[in-house]
Structure 1
Amino acid sequence: MVLADKQRAASPIPWPILGNLPEIGANPPGYDTYLKWRQEYGPIFTYWLGEKPTVAIAEYSLMNETIVKDGDSYADRDFFNEWLYLIRGPDGLATMGGETWKEHRKFFMQVMRNLGVGRNVLEEKIEAEFTAVCANIDRMVESGDGEDVDIGPEFDVCVGSMINSLLFGYSFNGARSDEFTHLRAILNDYMTLVGKPSSQFLMTFPHLVKDLPYFSGIFKTFKLFIAKTYKFFDQQIEKHKSMAQKEVHEESTHMDYVSAFMQEMKLRDGQDCFDMPTLYSHLLDFWIAGQETTTNTLNWGVIHLLYNPDVQTKLHAELDSVIQTNRFIHLADRPRLPYATAVVNEIQRIANVLPQNLARCNTKDVVVNGHFLPKGTSIMPLMSCVLYDEKIFPESRKFKPERFLTADEKSKRVCVGESLAKTEIFLILINLFHQYKLSMPIQAPPPSMQQNFGLSVVPLPYKCQIKRRTFQQ
């Protein structure tokens, strides 16, 4: 059955109060449900998150015409805003809208450039973190006497150190590793709870159910996670305040995001949402978004290459031919590594770690594919549908890096949407497979392909065999 009116796009029949959440939750992580709705109702349809209608845009051409080419009309966010305010306070970058979002995004991008993002400085940081990862892997391999190895935690520390160095100015190597283990455990518990249907219901209707007996316990658990995370932020910010008091020159080059934000907060006298509560929300957004999506993609990359050893063999052949030695591979090498680039693109496509993107809210009345959407409509660009679109990616559930190559296998095909080859993922994954050969575990069960429900698609823990590759001198 279909619901439709003059304004709203066609919709599957929602359940009372629950909306279409049961259908999404019954088939995690939700891709197949969204694709089914797109086939039945077209590239734009309405589905209900509880009692809230959300208009989905599930086709690349429509996303390009709306979100990309007319971005200002869809710049506001509408993603569990009430819920996030209850558990953490003011909006972070992920949920800000309007001129405030533009101002903070501009500031964030400038600080990231100053810290080396987009330049060789970032590559040097990644190389340092990757070197530490290799040292840990080598110790595990040497001490394990052929036993299966769990490299997931190594990805966690590597990515976490990169995030922490940008935010607070230091990594988690050496004596600080326990500090990361504690913080990561908190975030793991938080994301596990987010993925549960009961939590999704609470996040959708916080004003109705947060004080009810069952849901009040979940709500208190969420608040506890945030309090523990903010305690870590408290410690770092207090250190920065102490350091700032010792600075002789106020306008020095900022070494991390917190220093830069605190300086900007002082210059603006706390105006334009440059204040402490907003800083805490920013830090939480950066940690959750940066850590989860990157580490999940890295782990899915390893799992898919374990199941496709022929791809790993071809990847090794290209790396041996082009790089030849065991040196660190840089972004400058990427134009000469079309197959490696295609492998990373395909990993990010098939991993598809975000079943739903962050919902947007149109800032003015718009017409999309013949449907009138009044100002303030909740709009969900479903990039997950595009990444599994059979018209764009035939046999979309199969791992085929060649789909990102032209016929001569020398030129990388441009992917739809944003570039899939993010700096960290390319450098970490390709250097990992340059230094090591990974294969299926001997004693542990094969890695599971189960995709767990949540804001980001998480693979189950897995193990594999790892062997150092040798290079001719």
Structure 2
Amino acid sequence: MFLFIFIALIFSICFYNFYWKRRNLPPGPIPWPILGNLPEIGANPPGYDTYLKWRQEYGPIFTYWLGEKPTVAIAEYSLMNETIVKDGDSYADRDFFNEWLYLIRGPDGLATMGGETWKEHRKFFMQVMRNLGVGRNVLEEKIEAEFTAVCANIDRMVESGDGEDVDIGPEFDVCVGSMINSLLFGYSFNGARSDEFTHLRAILNDYMTLVGKPSSQFLMTFPHLVKDLPYFSGIFKTFKLFIAKTYKFFDQQIEKHKSMAQKEVHEESTHMDYVSAFMQEMKLRDGQDCFDMPTLYSHLLDFWIAGQETTTNTLNWGVIHLLYNPDVQTKLHAELDSVIQTNRFIHLADRPRLPYATAVVNEIQRIANVLPQNLARCNTKDVVVNGHFLPKGTSIMPLMSCVLYDEKIFPESRKFKPERFLTADEKSKRVCVGESLAKTEIFLILINLFHQYKLSMPIQAPPPSMQQNFGLSVVPLPYKCQIKRRTFQQ
């Protein structure tokens, strides 16, 4: 009798796992019970090759499983363009471990908002960013100020090091972190506040490293079921501790803003940051429409994680690839010398006259490919994609990482070749697949760095590693290089 029950149980599990739960979904790799396809993804981080293998085997749309959660991947540019881009309203809701995020930081972050609430907050955010200078010369002036501080620190390291190798990764960290903090809280981390950033960055680094572990992703998939189990309870408590430490920093800044508001120090026309604007909007709406303090904290966390991690990692990968491709750096210097001629700061207005520099940045963003998985979306209504019916609420993952390594679009996709973004007459293409990923900071910081300096392989330290470590995004290992100031004809 026991043997019969055991066999029936095994048969039921296999029938459910291998057929029943998959029957109405696009084809895809067979999931393990409970674990889904996490073992395959975790066995070959950060996952590019696994996703590309699945696309080759199952086509441009396939289903893979994060634990017991099915995720429908769209892994081809033309299909992505027809769905996510041209029919964006049908895919506007988010599905990025929502239950997990509710548990550790509360609801209503931008990563989890959906529907009209998300549209309202996105509209508010874009308006505040425009008021703060994003998309205008004001932002460039802020970047120039931060970059000047970076150059001063690099010069000090070079002068005091007597030819020693230099670690410039922390300089990117502070530069990007200062930009984010100035937009959110109104001040940068230069000078006496540098220790403040070091503390915050260490917390966020530990958080994002933990996110990338398969055990953490299993916890994030089944948070209510496993958060109190042995081993997983420790991971859950660690996550909560990271959030508490980060929110403590936010507490200090928000209390300062409240105090300043009471003293009527803030004037919208002269001094404004995101927290000030949000608190004013919260007062106008009387805490309605999710304009409340928990939402503000969630937004600040999302901005910090998304803005700091991906931008800094792209900058570091850019330096590493140019260290391994000195011929590209030589061509870049030649174009900058011909067009800019002096050591002045390069602006976005110069970009149309710098096709090769623009191509270099595009290629860096493509090959760095810092997000193996994008934020998952949910369709807001029933849709049919490539012949597959997807009911409302299906978790849909646009795998941009597959597009950026697509051999049909980018032949020899693992090689660093900026020329792929140039036309025959040496003009930069007006539209590229990765253009939506481009950020003003990346262009201005990287191109100005190579305008002011020549970077080469380290002498004492080992060459930079090309190993791709996965946290929330693809992280390079720490590295060092030789840096030399460039000279200009007067």
Which TM-score bucket, shorter chain as reference? over 0.9
**3-state SS of paired residue (1:213):** coil
1:405 aligns with 2:422: yes
Q: Does 1:375 align with 2:372?
A: no
CA distance in 1, matches of 2:355, 2:438: 12
Deviates further, 372-381 or 249-258: 249-258
**Conservation of the 8 A alpha-carbon contact between 1:345 and 1:420:** no
Alpha-carbon offset, residue 417 of structure 1? 5.1
What is the rounded CA distance, in whole Å, between the counterparts of 1:215 and 1:420 in structure 2?
A: 35
Contact 1:31 1:385 in 2 (8 A): yes
Deviation at 1:326, TM superposition (A): 0.4
Q: Alpha-carbon deviations, 1:413-440, whole Å to 9, x = none? A: 5202543432000000000000000000
The Cα RMSD (Å) is: 1.1
Q: Which runs of 4+ in 1 moved over 3 A?
A: 248-254, 417-421
Q: Does 1:117 align with 2:130?
A: no
Secondary structure of the corresponding residue to residue 389 of structure 2? strand
CA contact (8 A) 2:358 2:428 kept: no
Contact 1:406 1:413 in 2 (8 A): no
Aligned mates of 1:290, 1:410 — CA distance in 2? 30
Separation (CA, whole Å) in 2 of partners of 1:472 and 1:291: 36
**Secondary structure at the counterpart of residue 73 of structure 1:** helix
Determine which of 279, 287, 299 is the counterpart of 1:262.
279
- CA shift digits 1:95-120 (9 cap, x unpaired): 11000000000000000000000000
Q: Deviations over 1:150-197 (max 9, x none)?
A: 000000000000000000000000010010011001111111111111
Structure 1 residues 248 and 220, CA gap change in structure 2 (3 angstroms): closer
Spell out the pairing of 1:185-224 with structure 2 (5 A cutoff): 185-224=202-241
* Preserved CA contact (<8 Å) 1:435 1:468: yes
Task: Give the Å deviation of 1:205.
Answer: 1.1
Displacement of 1:200 in angstroms is: 1.1
TM-score, normalised by the number of residues in structure 1: 0.97
> Which segment drifts farther, 106-115 or 420-429?
420-429
Query: Is the 8 Å Cα contact of residues 341 and 412 (structure 1) preserved in structure 2?
Result: no
List per-residue Cα deviations over 1:323-365 (Å, max 9, x = no partner): 0000000000000000000000000000000000000000000
Q: How far apart are 1:392 and its partner, in Å?
A: 0.5
**1:58, 1:386 within 8 Å by CA — same for their partners in 2?**
yes
Q: Is the 8 A contact 1:209 1:216 kept in 2?
A: yes
Shift of 1:201: 1.0
Q: Which residue of 2 is the match for residue 4 of structure 1?
A: none
SS at 1:419 equivalent: helix
Query: How many angstroms does 1:448 deviate by?
Result: 0.5
**Is the 8 Å Cα contact of residues 404 and 413 (structure 1) preserved in structure 2?**
no
User: Offset of 1:124 from its aligned partner?
Assistant: 0.1
**In the alignment, what sits opposite 2:264?**
247
The 3-state SS of whatever aligns with 2:166 is coil
Report the CA distance between 1:250 and its aligned residue: 7.0
Secondary structure of 2:476's aligned partner: coil
Q: Distance in 1 between matches of 2:265 and 2:320?
A: 51
Distance 2:412 2:211 in 1: 31
Instruction: Name 2:448's counterpart in structure 1.
Output: 431
Distance of aligned partners of 1:353 and 1:251 in 2 relative to their CA distance in 1, 3 Å threshold: closer
The CA deviation at 1:455 is 2.3
Q: Secondary structure at the match of 1:211?
A: coil
Structure number with bigger Rg: 2
After TM superposition, the structure 1 stretch with the greater mean CA deviation from structure 2, 358-367 or 413-422, is: 413-422
1:18 deviation in Å? Answer: 0.3
Q: How many residue pairs end up in the alignment?
A: 463
Identity, in percent, stands at: 100
Query: Quick one: distance in 2 between partners of 1:248 and 1:154?
Result: 32
- Offset of residue 321 of structure 1: 0.5
Structure 2 CA distance for aligned equivalents of residues 248 and 452 of structure 1: 45
2:193 equivalent in structure 1: 176
Deviates more, 1:404-413 or 1:137-146: 404-413
Check whether the contact 1:356–1:455 (CA below 8 A) recurs between aligned residues.
no
Query: Deviation per CA, 1:67-88, whole angstroms, max 9, x where unpaired?
Result: 0011110000000101111110
CA deviation vs aligned residue, 1:122-161 (integer Å, no higher than 9, x gap): 0000000000000000000000000000000000000000
Alpha-carbon separation, structure 2, partners of 1:305 and 1:40: 34
Alpha-carbon distance in structure 2 between the residues aligned to 1:225 and 1:167: 20
Shift of 1:253: 5.4
Contact 1:149 1:464 in 2 (8 A): yes
How far apart, CA to CA, are the structure 1 residues paired with 2:267 and 2:343? 43
| Structure 2 gap ranges (5+) | 1-27
**SS in structure 1 of the partner of residue 436 of structure 2:** coil
Structure 2: how far apart are the matches of 1:395 and 1:248? 57
Q: Secondary structure in 2 aligned to 1:316? A: helix
Match for residue 464 of structure 2? 447
Per-residue displacement from partner, 1:203-228 (whole Å, max 9, x unpaired)? 11111111011011111011000000
Q: Given that residues 100 and 220 in structure 2 are in contact (C-alpha distance below 8 angstroms), is that contact kept between their aligned partners in structure 1? A: yes
Deviations 1:9-36, CA, capped at 9 Å, x for gaps: xx11000100000000111100000000
CA drift of 1:91 comes to: 2.1
- Alpha-carbon displacement from aligned partner over 1:380-401 (angstroms, at most 9, x marks no partner): 0000000000010010000000
Gaps in structure 1 of 5+ consecutive residues: 1-10
Q: Secondary structure at the match of 2:454?
A: strand
Per the alignment, do residues 443 and 251 of structure 1 end up closer, same or farther by CA in structure 2, a change over 3 Å counting?
closer
**2:359 aligned with 1:351:** no
Cross-structure match for 2:353: 336
TM-score when normalising by structure 2: 0.93
Deviation at 1:410, TM superposition (A): 2.6
**Tell me, what secondary structure is at the counterpart of 1:127?**
helix
SS at match of 1:346: helix
**In structure 2, C-alpha distance between the alignment counterparts of 1:99 and 1:208, rounded to whole Å:** 31
Whole-angstrom CA distance in 2 between matches of 1:251 and 1:158: 26
Deviation at 1:248, TM superposition (A): 7.0
Contact 2:281 2:291 (C-alpha < 8 Å) held by counterparts: yes
Q: How far apart, CA to CA, are the structure 1 residues paired with 2:52 and 2:240?
A: 35
Partners of 1:465 and 1:418 in 2: how far apart? 31
> C-alpha displacement at 1:254, in angstroms?
5.2
1:411 to partner: Cα distance: 3.5
Q: Retained in 1: the 8 A contact 2:174–2:189?
A: yes
